[in-house]
Chains A and B, each alone.
Chain A
Amino acid sequence: MKRRKFLQLAGLSGLALTVPTAKRVEAQEGLYGGPYYVLITASGGWDPRFMFDPTTDAEQNRYYAVQGAAGAIPYADWPIDEAAFNIDVGIGYSSYLMTNGAFLAKHGNRLTVINGVDTSTNNHEAGKRTMMSGSIPGKYPAIGALLAAARAPNKPIGFISSGGYDATAGLVPLARVASADSMRDLAFPNEVDPGNIDNTDTYHLAQTVGRIRGAQRERLQALRDAQHLPRLNRSMGALHLARETDSELSRLALPADLADITVGGQLNDLERLMQQSQLAVAGFKSGLAVSASLSLGGFDSHANHDRDQPRQIAKLLYGVDFLMTEAAAAGIDNNMYVVVVSDFARGPRYNGTNSNAGKDHWPVTSMFAMGPNIPGGRLVGATTSDQRARFVDPATMTPADSGVKITPGTVHRALRRVMGIDGHELAQRYPVLGEDLPLFG
């Protein structure tokens, strides 16, 4: 039987297929044990007024009439409405969408929401960069790259990305991860057919593999020693670094089947987010990954705002919930940080009077985060009635008429602190400007 056919059948029968036990390499020391970090970008610029900074001002909201609250966190209370979202009705899509209220009911007690974050930009690229690095100017590393470099720089897939701002500044390699089928073949490159338990053929004897790798290592070192041009030296160093730990990939235990929204093709973007969440969790669980950058697009609602924003928010929240469910199943949800941001915001008014009107870019946005040291049920920051950032008292974090504004810089200073890398040499190499605010308590 062809291996892929076997995998297909295994998937259909629900077998939890991992690498055949007989072939599995026993765990060794040196695996990364957490904490883990997932950085999610709602790409295009979401509308906080449709999330956790709601308003019933008709100039800013023509869609929902009711505001809800989950403890201290307010929310826009709109329902799942497939017809209003312009997706096929009645074929099961609604089970993949989540309202603000449902999300907060499930996760609000571990969530800190920050409203009134002044990004100072309406520029997509700059917005993503500053929300994920804390800095608009310069090519700062994304916080995911910084965390991977600080925590475990030599992991083969230390920083996984499937989207969002993921610049590494050369601190760590950026990795992509795909289906179990492909990854399994890569995890065991010397096995002819790693997925077929009946086939134990290898291309080379184990000793030969070691000999090849040893000779390869010696040769690469000799090439580097004789090389004086920085670009070539850098590229040789990158290969050397990648090879240092590539054999660890054999520890990567991936799910046999990735999420499949089989009911149709209108939630493909969510399906991809779910699959990438599964792969990230697998990377964490295997001790090979430190951080993952994920994204969901479709938020740039210059048109049809009231159709597209709630639909994409509902996808995003379901995606985050799915991630948490996967992490819980892997037993790492209590050791995982999740930070969710967008480029900026939309608003404050609609750009037209028609039902298909949109909202344009707006720099004052929101974000939310959860994780081991992040308090739940917490709301900090606020906006004015016309969606400008309010000052906060730097001591109490309550909105005030004067004080400081929350910026991506202040957020990242707080994130670095709560994630324990603020004193790290790499964090100091890339300082972010702003006040030290107790955003996360």
Chain B
Amino acid sequence: MRRTRFGRITATAASAIAVAALVGATSCGGGKGKGDSAGADCSDARQFLAEQAWGPIFGGVCLECHGPGGLASEDNAKFRLLPPEYPGFLDANLEHLRGFVKYEYDGTPMILMKPLGQLEHGGGTKLQDGSPEMELLQELVTQLQASGDGACAPSATAASFEDVVLLDPVATYRKASLHLVGRLPNRGEIDRLLSEGEAALPGLLDALMTEPGFYDRLKDIFNDLLLTNRYYRSNSVGLLGTEEFPESDLAWFENLDNDTQNRVGRAVGAEPLDLIAHIVRNDRPFSEILTANYTVMNPDSARIYNADINFADPNDLNEYHEGKIRTFANGQLVEYPHAGVLTSPMFLNRFPTTPTNRSRHRARMVLQHFLGTDILAVAERPLDPTRATAFSNPTREDSACAVCHSIIDPIAGAFQKFDENDMEEFDPAQEWHPEMFAPGFKDDVMQTTDFPQAPSWLGQRLAADDRFPLATVYTVFGALTGQKPALFPKDAASATFADDLAAWQAQDATLRAIAIEFEAQNLNLKTAIRQVILSPYYRAKNATGPLEPGRAAQLGNVGTGMLSTPELLDRKILAIVGLKWARSYDYNASMLRNDYQILYGGIDSDAVTERLTDPNGVMSNVVWRMANEVSCVSTAYDFTKPAEERTLFPDVQPTDTPTNAEDRIRSNIKYLHALVLGETLEDGHPELERTYRLFFDTWQEGSALVAADQEPSRIVYSCRGRENPITDQELPDEVKVEDDDDYAVRSWMAVMTYLLSDYKFIYE
């Protein structure tokens, strides 16, 4: 049995819970960890801690001193607590409490005596004997004592989705395929899903994650964290010091034309994301993003980084190899202290420092990105401004400052050999600041002999930290569902506390189960992605009926409904329509990745780094413009092809009208609903009727206007089927579609605009 960071729970048990959550089963363990009777009692204690004891006692009274950086922690008190901002805080605290209740004095657990001011308690009297809080504490201690030593399995009842309707396997796979690789499922995949059902999904999802398109999406996901695409062009090379990286300053580079310089710049700028893709592609433990003693380079970046790599084809820019950056320090060639992305020159520049900041900002981002811990949220408490001036070194001596600095300053020490003015400049001789907290991580102090390899030392510990798997799952969850994981509700007095807690517990149980599976599968990121896709948070499409307010609150963050990012929508258009939404004069210039990237809620990794998740009036008009332009460029063009080669209109001809081909029109509408929206509708369905009515009314009105010479029979110039939109090559006259005497082509354009602007097209 593999012991995971979450306790002795087998991956199989965790999977069972995840699957139970998937199918909405409530009979899966009922909160009592199957095959682990000790875990059963512990689940009750966990529930009690979350629901009743955390808020009024531990979060409200104890945490200030016993939390990270608190006075009790500074005094090396045995009793430690983690705040809700730490992923997995509840389980970590529960585990700690179970151990701590064993400390007794005259047969009484010390945890029941200290808050009364008995024994030696630095905080004095915090609770009154007989108070409701003491009664809660007593009850918790009783439950903890009864829980034995077994681990706490994620509660299956906490993640109950029996009243939730999921996307079926085909629909789930369509959604995942479009999201992960930007294509529709093929016939073979659909057939397999239809015949094997749910059982086929995991394997097909795994196969998707071997396709090249997946790695584009993967890089987008992690760029949202690292934001290194800010340097995706030639300015990445400009960041590098010319003494440390002399190749960046040599004539070979300076004399390149702009396009080639940009190409080299892209290779250098993409290095940290390429490393992540390489690790995932090769099914390596995802922790290597923090521990790899190498990076990944193509011929361009290898030359800039002076790496000693033999490429099979130095002209093949898609040939990537592991290698080591070779840099100069004080004129001497030195070994670069690789530690995954932590030492990526792009990462170091994207999260820069100064001589007085001393890598603290970088340390904060390390905690946030890789351990899911927002240290600023941990430290949110009122400050007394008069205190700091009483200390000569407030970051260490003033507890109000030390609450953060005791955590981030040691981590900052891992970057001690990197220059504080020139971010990627590595100097083995550089000294650290002795007045700061010593380099280290949590309670582990770095030995001076480890200083030369300080980033690696840190990377190893970050990767081994309990929070790493869960934080990684959080990242995946956010990217796939478009929402951040819910936070533990802190305000126990809130009227919605019980419902908020239930929502959090359901999500927490699901994500913890995924994290356990992720860890059991050697931290293969594909596992985390697959399991999130299989969860109701990705697949739920409705509830079985109206929900009571409390249940609605519990299911508040469950389900599809993610607005596609500009990048996802861009790929979706191409996958479904077969054409990009691109500039009319440059098919390679995607509108959603250029002109409208920011306006449609995307990021530029520089000034705009937060995505918008709800549409506004501007974004709504981006959708209208997209739908109009794409319907314009695709409709008549599709009719220029033989029916069997068409993407959009296989069942009709451009002369088919309701008077001569109603059935064929209805058939094609049904086909389009399936193609564009993923809806499989029965004949006569109201939505098919609505779309047919749109076609009919548009045709009826338009054809009458054409007949009356009030509207030209020719399609507007830019929407005619006269050239290949991809190559700009003019089509043979005999296949051109420029006239529309029957107004059928333009009626189909209306239908395409309608479908491309639909909720189900622009949302996932």
Contacts and interface: CB of A to CB of B under 8 A. Distances in A.
B385 A364 contact: yes
A351 B376 CA distance: 21
A334 B746 CA distance: 50
Interface in B589-644: 595-596, 598-599, 601, 607-608, 612, 614-622, 624-625, 628-629, 631-632
A238 interface: yes
Interface in B668-715: 686-687, 690-691, 693-694, 697-698, 701-702, 705, 711
Given A186-B618, A219-B690, A239 B759 contact: yes
Contacts of B758: 216, 219
Interface residues of B, number: 88
B640 to A, nearest CB: 19
B10 to A, nearest CB: 32
Given A123-B380, A190-B628, A231-B561, A236 B759 contact: yes
A142 to B, nearest CB: 13
B252 interface: no
Given A212-B694, A303-B356, A386-B389, A229 B376 contact: no
Contacts of A231: 483, 555-561
A189 interface: yes
Given A182-B596, A205-B701, A232 B694 contact: no
A165 to B, nearest CB: 12
Contact of A229 (B558, B701, B705, B754): B558
Given A212-B750, A229-B540, A302-B354, A235 B563 contact: yes
Contacts of A235: 561-563, 614, 759, 763
A352 B356 contact: yes
A230 B556 contact: yes
Contact of A238 (B553, B585, B614): B614
Contacts of A162: 607
B702 A218 contact: no
A266 to B, nearest CB: 15
A45 interface: no
A229 B615 contact: no
Interface in A166-223: 170, 173-178, 182-183, 185-187, 189-190, 192, 201-205, 207-208, 211-212, 215-216, 218-220, 222-223
B242 interface: no
Interface stretch (B28-36, B541-549, B570-578): B541-549
Contact of A156 (B557, B599, B617, B690): B617
A211 B694 contact: yes
B301 interface: no
B598 to A, nearest CB: 6
Given A121-B383, A189-B624, A212-B750, A175 B618 contact: yes
Interface residues of A, number: 85
Nearest to B543: A228
Contact of B621 (A125, A246, A358, A389): A246
A228 B545 CA distance: 6
Interface in B76-129: none
A226 interface: yes
B625 A238 contact: no
Contacts of B147: none
Interface string B735-764: 000000000001001100110011110110
Contact of A126 (B376, B542, B555, B561): B376
Contact of B617 (A126, A173, A219, A349): A173
Interface in A258-276: 272
B753 A239 contact: no
Interface stretch (B65-73, B334-342, B716-724): B716-724
Contact of A163 (B607, B619, B716, B746): B607
A252 B127 CA distance: 61
A109 interface: no
Nearest to B378: A123
B250 interface: no
A239 B379 contact: no
B355 interface: yes
A215 B621 contact: no
Given A173-B615, A212-B694, A388-B386, A232 B620 contact: no
Nearest to A358: B356
Interface string B319-336: 000000000000000000
Contacts of A236: 561, 759
Contact of B380 (A136, A230, A351): A136
Contact of B598 (A178, A220, A302): A178
A422 to B, nearest CB: 24
B356 A357 contact: yes
A116 B541 CA distance: 52
Interface in A289-346: 302-304
Most buried by B among A230, A239, A272, A363: A230
A249 B164 CA distance: 38
A246 B617 contact: yes
Nearest to B622: A186
A349 B595 CA distance: 46
A106 interface: no
A389 B759 contact: no
Contacts of B389: 348-349, 386
B702 A208 contact: yes
A227 B552 CA distance: 12
B382 interface: yes
B620 A302 contact: no
Contacts of A205: 701-702, 705, 711
B307 interface: no
B401 interface: yes
A189 B690 contact: no
User: Closest 3 A-B residue pairs measured CB to CB?
Assistant: A156-B617, A173-B616, A228-B543
Given A126-B376, A156-B621, A219-B690, 16 more contacts: A125-B376, A136-B380, A173-B615, A175-B617, A186-B618, A186-B621, A186-B622, A212-B750, A227-B542, A228-B546, A228-B552, A229-B541, A231-B557, A288-B617, A304-B354, A356-B355
15 contacts: A120-B385, A121-B383, A124-B376, A156-B618, A176-B599, A204-B628, A208-B746, A212-B757, A215-B754, A228-B542, A228-B543, A230-B556, A231-B557, A231-B561, A302-B357
